[in-house]
Amino acid sequence: MNNIVARADEALKAHDLCDHCLGRLFAHIETGTTNQERGRSMRVAVTLERSARSEGAPEHEMCWLCDDMFDSLPRFAEAAIEKLGAVEYDTFLIGTKVDPAVQDREEQLWAEVGGDKAEPIKAELNREIGKIVEAAVQKEVEFKSPDVVALIDTRFGHVDLDIAPIFFYGRYRKYSREIPQTRWPCRMCQGKGCKRCGDTGKMYQVSVQEILGDVMRREAEGADHFFHGMGREDIDARMLGTGRPFVIEISEPKKRALDLRRIEELANESGRGLADFSGLRKSTREEVRQIKAATPDKVYVAEIRTRGKVNKDKVNEVVQSLRQARIIQQTPTRVAHRRADLARERGIHDLQLLEFSDERLVLQLRTESGTYVKEFVSGDDGRTKPSLSGEIGVACEVTALDVVQIIDNANEG
């Protein structure tokens, strides 16, 4: 007897199996057919072999392994189709949950007759339900990154949707010195709400993230928004020029096709005087990684107060000496509570004196990513060396700081 037919005969002697579960034992032996068709052929072959031995044909009443679950494929598919109808998507994937007892029986069968050529029941369920759904909804099945996964619990016919987030790239400018880039939970209550934050759960009531994110979440009918910026500026610093690149992520969106021009208009109206947004377009999770990993130079304009009069020639001399300087910065005192205390080497790539008076300077700086400009100016009690203050010999303090350019790919030069 053919070895494959012998294994099928052994399986049918031990258990009553449907064509799907019988055929799935040999799923990786041949392609171009379904497990059901394969199982049907195996059953015929076993019947012929038994007939030659004057034995009775295998009987089938109810599948020992799956309890004839495959008879419910249309019902499972219909439940998925109904659930998918509540969201916008271009690609989908079907997933299934199966009673652990069914999976235990499958593993028992493999142990009895061999499972080296077998396919798991969940793989067949996903594929066969997916075929029905695909034909009905006229959408593409996508295995790597579908817009939505319909997860069917075959025990109860219940369907949950796992909706992939959507991502949008843009640039923002921040005009206020009183709002942060991202949501800032209250330090006292960690976002739960308390007297200090007026039960809002936030240290600051408005952020760049929320100005755009709240509009976008509402338009997408999403659950929440997350902001991924190419770095960040201090709360009291403005972000000017062409703006800072970012990607905003909307979780669990019911709508994916958004009018980005309208969203820009709504967000810019909402953020009037605080922040604005431009260049919104579709993005990806990969671009989030690129944004977070980027280390672009930045150009700043810093207004500086000196604690005493300074000589312009001396200032010019110091500015010239610090142009192209390498500096060592110990983690600043103001952020030491949340960052490791390390010494970092950074570069001052350009330095220009824009304005001068006895007790006020305006400098333009181009610095390496990660440079603490305020501490480069003040010296931070010796934690930054060399510093403007240390070289001039007079205490200096940044009174206003603006980021005027992020030197990313769109702003080289």
Dist CA 282 CA 209 (whole Å): 17
For 329, the token pair is: 């910065």
Smallest CA-to-CA distance from 121 within 68, 61, 44, 42 is with 68
**Amino acid letter at 194?**
C
Assign 141 to helix, strand or coil. strand
Signed CA dihedral, 337, 340, 343, 347: sign only: negative
Cβ atoms < 10 Å from Cβ of 314: 13
Assign 343 to helix, strand or coil. strand
Signed CA dihedral, 42, 64, 68, 162: sign only: negative
Dist CA 146 CA 247 (whole Å): 20
Smallest CA-to-CA distance from 161 within 263, 81, 239, 64 is with 81
Signed CA dihedral, 334, 336, 340, 344: sign only: positive
Radius of gyration, alpha carbons of the chain:
33
241 membership: H or E segment, kind and range? strand 237-251
Annotate 61-114 with three-state secondary structure. CCCCCCCCHHHHHHHHHHHHHHHHCCCCCCEEEEEEECCHHHHHHHHHHHHHHC
Dist CA 45 CA 37 (whole Å): 12
Signed CA dihedral, 218, 224, 230, 234: sign only: positive
- Out of 16, 67, 214, 234, which one is annotated catalytic? 234
**Is 9 noted as a catalytic residue in this protein?**
no
DSSP 8-state secondary structure symbol assigned to residue 263: H
Catalytic residues: 234
